[in-house]
């Protein structure tokens, strides 16, 4: 498969990410490490998984969090076997980094900015030297094809740390934003099927990103869950999927946990979702008819002074 064919095939499976696909494929083909930055739910993980699958390379997934120590990332000696056999290479249990290095796989780290600094320092060495050293084991070198790919949400300040310039200096960076409205409608329809509320669910979700009382809105996952919740809730209540009570409750469940209210705002997430739901889902009042205007035109004037 040529690079052009690969990009075309990926474009059919990952909606609205043609440019990002081209850049990721180009970076990997150039043997570069790459970091995807963007809000949650924008398809970063999906894109990287699909690229790895289409390239036919191994894919080691690591969830970045405060518990990701160097030993958990690289690997460790099995304590029971060490007691029996001593520190031998055969008793070393490879972690995701060691497996990726030996196999020439992609090492994918999600939420890179949640990884402790001492673990990030291991990655700096690996990206620079293409190897890591383990006490009592020795050198673990990278096979051809090994690359580090990572993703993070730079807008979440809770439980995260600033990524050092040493990391940025060794990675290509790609900013990933939300897809367009048409693309998000297509994604929602793919996941939830065509429904009478699909377009409005996407519109409601997108409005959360621009609301003045919110510092973070919902990704398209909120629209997908809204449609799915409404479909099952309508069945439970024996009513239609676009019944107002159904769509409101589905919106509250699907969106209230995904949005973040600005500090200093007196409003709750539920209050804001309800406001946006009214704007999108409730029918607008009919405009005044021409008869009213005509009546006003013939009303007596010149009230006594």
**Tens digit of each residue's pLDDT (9 = 90 or more) over 17-48:** 889 999 999 999 999 999 999 988 888 888 88
Spatial neighbors of 208 by CB under 8 A, at least 6 apart, are 214, 217, 218, 222, 255, 258, 259, 272, 273, 276
CATH architecture of 3-175: 3-Layer(aba) Sandwich (3.40)
Matching fold, domains 3-175 and 181-281: no
H/E run at residue 82: helix 79-85
Residues 203-227, mean pLDDT to the nearest whole number = 96
The three-class DSSP label of residue 147 is strand
Residues 251-260, mean pLDDT to the nearest whole number = 97
pLDDT at 303: 45
pLDDT at 298: 46
- Residue with tokens 């390239």, as numbered in its chain: 55
Better pLDDT: 13 or 292: 13
Helices and strands counted in the chain (H then E): 14, 11
pLDDT at 2: 77
DSSP 8-state symbol, 44: H
Parse the chain into domains and list their residue ranges: 3-175, 181-281
Mean pLDDT rounded to a whole number for the chain: 89
| Angstrom distance (rounded) from CA 173 to CA 27 | 10
* Contact assessment for residue 172 and residue 20, using Cβ atoms and an 8 Å cutoff: no
| Angstrom distance (rounded) from CA 223 to CA 286 | 28
Between strands 172-175 and 131-134, the pairing is: unpaired
> pLDDT tens for residues 173-205?
999 999 999 999 999 999 998 999 999 999 999
Using only C-alpha atoms, the chain has a radius of gyration, in whole angstroms, of: 26
pLDDT over 90 percentage in the chain: 68
Half-sphere exposure of 59 (CA within 13 A, CB side): 17
Between strands 260-261 and 214-216, the pairing is: antiparallel
* Contact assessment for residue 152 and residue 198, using Cβ atoms and an 8 Å cutoff: no
Is the pLDDT assigned to residue 6 strictly greater than 90?
A: no
| Angstrom distance (rounded) from CA 245 to CA 230 | 10
Query: Distance of CA 263 to CAs 153, 157, 266, 270, Å?
Result: 19, 13, 9, 16
Q: What is the CATH number of domain 181-281?
A: 1.10.8
DSSP 3-state percent helix, strand, coil across the chain (nearest 5): 50, 15, 35
**Confidence band (pLDDT; 50, 70, 90) for 78?**
confident
pLDDT at 293: 53
**Confidence band (pLDDT; 50, 70, 90) for 297?**
very low
| Angstrom distance (rounded) from CA 9 to CA 51 | 10
pTM of the model: 0.80
């Amino acid at each position: 498969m040529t690079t052009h064919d690969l990009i075309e095939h990926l474009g059919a499976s990952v909606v609205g990410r043609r440019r990002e696909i081209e850049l990721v494929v180009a970076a990997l083909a150039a043997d570069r490490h790459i970091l995807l930055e963007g809000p949650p739910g924008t398809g970063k993980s999906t894109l990287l998984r699909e690229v790895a699958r289409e390239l036919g390379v191994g894919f080691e997934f690591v969830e970045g969090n405060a518990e990701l120590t160097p030993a958990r990332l690289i690997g460790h000696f099995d304590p029971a076997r060490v007691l029996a056999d001593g520190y031998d290479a055969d008793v070393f249990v490879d972690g995701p980094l060691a497996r990726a290095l030996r196999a020439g796989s992609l090492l994918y780290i999600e939420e890179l900015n949640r990884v402790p600094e001492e673990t990030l320092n291991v990655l700096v060495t690996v990206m620079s030297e293409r190897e890591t050293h383990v006490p009592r084991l020795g050198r673990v070198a990278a096979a051809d094809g090994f690359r580090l790919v990572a993703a993070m949400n730079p807008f979440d300040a809770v439980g995260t740390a600033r990524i050092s310039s040493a990391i940025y200096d060794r990675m290509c960076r790609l900013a990933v934003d939300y897809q367009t409205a048409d693309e998000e409608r297509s994604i929602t329809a793919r996941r939830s099927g065509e429904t009478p509320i699909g377009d409005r669910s996407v519109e409601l979700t997108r409005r959360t990103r621009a609301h003045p009382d919110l510092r973070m809105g919902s990704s398209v996952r909120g629209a997908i869950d809204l449609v799915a919740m409404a479909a099952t809730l309508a069945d439970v209540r024996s009513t239609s999927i676009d019944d107002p009570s159904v769509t409101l409750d589905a919106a509250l469940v699907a969106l209230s946990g995904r949005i973040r209210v600005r500090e200093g705002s007196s409003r709750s997430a539920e209050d804001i979702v309800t406001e946006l739901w009214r704007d999108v889902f409730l029918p607008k009042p009919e405009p005044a008819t021409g008869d009213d205007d005509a009546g006003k035109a013939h009303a007596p004037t010149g009230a006594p002074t």
